[in-house]
Structure 1
């Protein structure tokens, strides 16, 4: 949200991109992200709180009725100070949500094309995150008729860790509400293996020392992107990676079998910040991506090289 302070919201790169996608017939989700991980939430009724609502009043006219879904909040229990993940978090986001609801009612009407979700809850597989504030979050979702449901972000260390997310949210929603999965991945599983040694076969084939670590191979691919087949060979040579080869299908089966999934989305391409400061402690988001423009050379057509997940991603569009 602070990024729109110095630009017409309709011209902000993220908003302009999503509006262009909507004009071309794609379904769209816009997330309103409030980064308070380095500052306190504004006091209710304060000038700072009013300024935050003023930002909303600049953004909402550009997107309301034009995007399919507005998600209120990105990862509130991460994008906040740990000490304020209590009633203060709830009060801030409930105020924001009511402001968005009122704007929609006043400017978009009963048949508004934009629906509203609260988002998104993280690491619900850990009991410590099922807090009174999380309970109040779900109570607000359930008891606010204008809210269609909640989003979850199951970034997890194993496929089995996703079920606690749906087991937590579904009983706390009213009948007919649905949920979003706007992000999901095995990033914490990948991270456990960054200091593993590369397979002997890959090392021999591509000239790496036998004791080369996984993160060192990734760094080599960032420094001088591999040919597409080499990046694929690297991933498939990792037994721990291939043990999760059915991850996308397993996750989508879990979410769809609830009968309550509205939309799930998946990380489509590597981004530059995934490649900086690579090392054994780097969060390896780049393993998730459907396309791998930063670790593999583009094809002659200019299309980014696929990562491992393209075939699964495509097949799931037709299920």
Structure 2
């Protein structure tokens, strides 16, 4: 999910990504650091498979903006995995490894983290390219730059971010969405096979599906999506993004995708939250104790308190009072723990990812109809004051839960081995 409107790529944003992620080694050096050797055709043969397939992982998610996701903050929550997505229009010729999300994930990979990269093709206001067209050829050339920078380094590649939210309804009805992503998936599988004929670290998933709690989404386009996943041996599973208004709604996602995959296929949940529930309560009054504490009028709506906190971060104790004192939020403080238990109980979860830090787009123009992504983040780094040592304030509902859900087998350094291509 993107927090703000799609923006045209600019060199300033790419340079900002370079600053956020630090200086990068060349992609070839990264591959060699993994023990891979170049063959005579310019490809690479993988090192022996000494890792374990990821299973039941909880990762830190930064979406498209890694600025608040430093390695120190990842260490603070004991995370061993990190996920982000690359908006493909931001990829410039020769600079794929320096695009900010890609750069951050490559930096994390070299530091021993497990990594998940999703490819976002924003097409809500333009037709998707048709396979075989000049526009499709241009899209694939851009894609190859990202693949050359990341294959063999990232552990999981998500083919698509939220295709059904990022594509015109007309393209979904006419099958253009499916044709485009199927062509992209085949191209990626072939690129991986050519470069890593003896096996590759990078696993391929199709993703991600949204709003499956609504029966209207169970249409021909979604059925074709899942049929392609099931029929394509190179694809290990599907991604889901259950941003829901009720805890039980996530079950609809599992009921839809699990029976439609091969028994050995698995799922990702690289985004999930109760943000649609939070949104329903933005016009509710703030807790009375919070109003007294802050000396504001009783009945002040929650959205106004969030807007004020974004402008002038609250003391951590006040922020805690605002969140946990609101029954609609505090009553669900076990959501992260309970949802991860449910995902893991299926025996088919590969990686789930939860928002790690608040980003600038989350705190911009807050109003009564805002989607309050800022309430999901494990760190409340933009709405609450840091500790005296500079450590960002935790979200009182999610910080301890996220740490406690980390398992010894997912800690650094992550080694996932290789998969046959």
Please state how far the C-alpha of 1:6 moved relative to its aligned partner: 4.9
1:39 correspondence with 2:163: no
Q: Distance in 2 between matches of 1:158 and 1:120?
A: 20
Look up the match of 2:237: 149
Q: Distance in 2 between matches of 1:274 and 1:230?
A: 20
Look up the match of 1:79: 166
Q: Distance in 1 between matches of 2:134 and 2:92?
A: 16
Please state how far the C-alpha of 1:56 moved relative to its aligned partner: 1.2
1:161 correspondence with 2:253: no
Q: Distance in 2 between matches of 1:56 and 1:267?
A: 26
Please state how far the C-alpha of 1:44 moved relative to its aligned partner: 2.3
Look up the match of 2:280: 192
**Which of 364, 389, 392 pairs up with 1:301?**
389
> Could you list the runs of 4 or more consecutive aligned residues of structure 1 that deviate by over 4 angstroms after TM superposition?
none
Q: Larger deviation: 285-294 or 198-207?
A: 198-207
- Superposition CA RMSD, Å: 1.1
**Which fold has the larger relative contact order, with Cα–Cα distance below 8 Å and residues 6 or more apart in sequence?**
2
Residue aligned with 1:264, SS: strand
Please state how far the C-alpha of 1:209 moved relative to its aligned partner: 0.2
- Structure 1: state its 5+ residue gaps: none
**Which of 402, 409, 412 pairs up with 1:313?**
402
- Structure 2: state its 5+ residue gaps: 1-87, 409-421
Q: Distance in 1 between matches of 2:144 and 2:407?
A: 39
Please state how far the C-alpha of 1:43 moved relative to its aligned partner: 2.3
1:234 correspondence with 2:322: yes
TM-score for both structures, normalised by structure 2: 0.74
Higher helix share: 1
| Residues 27 and 68 in structure 1, CA contact (< 8 A), matched pair in contact too | yes
| Residues 160 and 181 in structure 2, CA contact (< 8 A), matched pair in contact too | yes
**Which of 185, 194, 199 pairs up with 1:111?**
199
Q: Distance in 1 between matches of 2:274 and 2:198?
A: 40
1:68 correspondence with 2:164: no
| Residues 163 and 254 in structure 1, CA contact (< 8 A), matched pair in contact too | no
Q: Distance in 1 between matches of 2:224 and 2:135?
A: 24
Map 1:130-141; keep pairs closer than 5 Å.
130-141=218-229
Q: Deviations over 1:260-283 (max 9, x none)?
A: 000111000111101111110000
Give aligned pairs, total. 319
Q: Deviations over 1:126-170 (max 9, x none)?
A: 001111100000000000000000000000001100001001000
Residue aligned with 1:154, SS: coil
**Which of 113, 116, 134 pairs up with 1:26?**
113
